[in-house]
Structure 1
Amino acid sequence: MARPQLGDEISKRIIDLIIERDLPPGSPMPTELDLMADIGVSRNSIREAIRALRALGIVEVRHGYGTFVGSAGSEALRTWLLFRTRTPGAGTTGRLRDLLEVREMLETELTRRVARRHRPELIAALESCVARMRKGPDSAAADREFHDLICAEAGFDLARELTRLFWDVYRAAEAELGGPAGSASSTAKRHQAIVDALAAGDADAAEEAVHRHFDEVRKRAKAGKYGGFGAAAPVD
């Protein structure tokens, strides 16, 4: 078995090969023999590195077909974030608050950018989400879609993927804590303020609306179990 530091180095060398050879997701990986020759290590060391890269989604093993370049999605990071919010140390609720703060930073800037320039049909799509929030049963899905639409409009794929990831991790972690539920009407009202600012093209008002929105989530969080975040409340 490769030593941890050596294993990390071999993994990095394999990643370098993927990049240098411009292999897109789905491309067949070099064979074990080729990797052994290129990197100069044993078969066992290559296999250990491939297992590590597979866990990260960088490579994909299709039994009966071979090893391929993976899509390197966010699943590995999602697993890590969920683990981090649940392990002892700074406290789960503190880590959830940290997660919320990072998401607020991202979404504030993205919303400002969208306020300065957006397609007219975005407003209609956001209004539709708010209408679904008011009805209640579909509130969580509408909430997630609302924020995703804004991130998509901003045009930064990585930021969009990160906000999706933070939303999902936050939702999964808060379910363990319990707490007060936010009303459908208050959730819709906060989101409507963001829509109104975007429709007016007012970046400052949009930023303020996003901050008020997250302030309400934090306020509700303080009333939750162990000072945590309410499971029944929309993540927002």
Structure 2
Amino acid sequence: MTAKNIDDDAREPHDPLLATPWAQLAATSAPSGSVASQAGTQNHRHPANKAKRSDNGGMQSTHGVMADIIAAPTTQASVAMEGIKEYILRENLQPGQALPTESRLCAALGVSRSSVREAVRTLVALDIVEVRHGHGMFVGRVSMRPMVESLVFRGRLHPGDDHQGLRDVVEVRATLDQALAPHVIEAWTGRDDEELDAIVEEMDAKAQAGLLFADEDRRFHLRMLEPLDNKLFRHLTDAFWAVHTLTVPLLGAPAPDDILKTVRAHRDMLAAARAGDIEAYRQATSQHYAPLLSALTTG
């Protein structure tokens, strides 16, 4: 048990969580007459509501902007969910770090235990919170797993639609690779990398044996994006790769010739990137996805 995840009945005298005016956020957000609306003093403002100057010189409320973007009915559970996210951001907590206990969240937010539990269940589903039974709540990995699961389900939801859902995913992945071409070329021109060379050789060996190489494919694409400053590119690519890999089995086994074509495309992508040839890189990227898109179109 970590110091932050203290026992429910052992509150610290100067608990920073309880000192945070979340009760005021609850009071201004919750429906009139609810427990949350009765908690705290109306005249205080949550730090998230602090006015800040916009680009055009006007004053905007951060909380107000978010309210405009996310228009949803406010419940005690939604207040609790936003409060937990605010706490993670304000305390700059990282994945794996402990969160306050359930009773401390209830007291700070002025909401019921059931509302906190409902909020936590939602945040767990979003991979923002992780619950370790017997140990408490922790910041989750905040990964793209929820998006992956949703897209995989979408791809399998209508089996009679000629794989339109899967085709959409593959087209988005291919478009992302094409869009990243200038960044990849800039990063890899004249650059040697034994790891990438080894990955391509592993692909080739498996293809010659009639085997698939999903793991090598993932490693190849993530390695190509590793030198890029924007790490979100890697996360998005990995997410779409996961969707791609989980749904492709719906098509059955690929033709041996298609497997060999895919290996050659990877080899050509690497060679073009090192040569600084963006057009050759884009052509190789198109060849990489061509067999699968053809199977999705004719299948």
TM range (shorter): 0.7 to 0.9
Q: Which amino acid aligns with 1:202?
A: D
5+ residue gaps, structure 2, are 1-72
5+ residue gaps, structure 1, are 228-236
1:109 to 154, 179, 182: 179
Name 2:192's counterpart in structure 1.
121
Q: Secondary structure, in 3 states, of the residue corresponding to 2:163? A: helix
- Per the TM alignment, residue 62 of structure 1 is displaced from its structure 2 partner at its CA by 1.7
- Per the TM alignment, residue 212 of structure 1 is displaced from its structure 2 partner at its CA by 3.0
Q: Distance in 1 between matches of 2:162 and 2:98?
A: 41
The 10-residue stretch of structure 1 (96-105 or 153-162) with the greater mean CA deviation from structure 2 = 153-162
Name 2:112's counterpart in structure 1.
42
Name 1:205's counterpart in structure 2.
280
- Per the TM alignment, residue 92 of structure 1 is displaced from its structure 2 partner at its CA by 6.5
Q: Secondary structure, in 3 states, of the residue corresponding to 1:67? A: strand
Q: Secondary structure, in 3 states, of the residue corresponding to 1:120? A: coil
Q: Distance in 2 between matches of 1:84 and 1:140?
A: 21
Q: Distance in 2 between matches of 1:5 and 1:91?
A: 37
Name 1:231's counterpart in structure 2.
none
Query: 4+ residue stretches of structure 1 with deviation over 6 A?
Result: none
Name 2:241's counterpart in structure 1.
167
Equivalences for 1:67-216 in 2 at 5 Å? 67-88=137-158, 91=161, 93-118=163-188, 120-122=191-193, 124-135=194-205, 136=207, 137=211, 139-178=213-252, 180-183=254-257, 184-216=259-291
Is the CA contact (8 Å cut-off) linking 1:85 and 1:92 kept in structure 2?
no
Q: How many residue pairs were aligned?
A: 221
1:58 to 109, 113, 128: 128
Name 2:103's counterpart in structure 1.
33
Q: Secondary structure, in 3 states, of the residue corresponding to 1:98? A: helix
Taking only aligned residues, the RMSD between alpha carbons, in angstroms, comes to: 2.5
- Per the TM alignment, residue 153 of structure 1 is displaced from its structure 2 partner at its CA by 2.8
Is the CA contact (8 Å cut-off) linking 1:151 and 1:160 kept in structure 2?
yes
- Per the TM alignment, residue 83 of structure 1 is displaced from its structure 2 partner at its CA by 1.3
Which is greater in Rg? 2
Deviations 1:154-183 (A, max 9, x none): 343222122112112212112123264242
Q: Distance in 2 between matches of 1:66 and 1:92?
A: 45
Q: Distance in 2 between matches of 1:9 and 1:101?
A: 38
Q: Which amino acid aligns with 2:262?
A: T
Higher RCO (Cα < 8 Å, 6 or more apart): 1
1:21 to 70, 77, 91: 91
TM-score w.r.t. length of structure 2? 0.66
Is the CA contact (8 Å cut-off) linking 1:133 and 1:187 kept in structure 2?
no
Q: Which amino acid aligns with 1:18?
A: I
Q: Distance in 2 between matches of 1:22 and 1:90?
A: 46
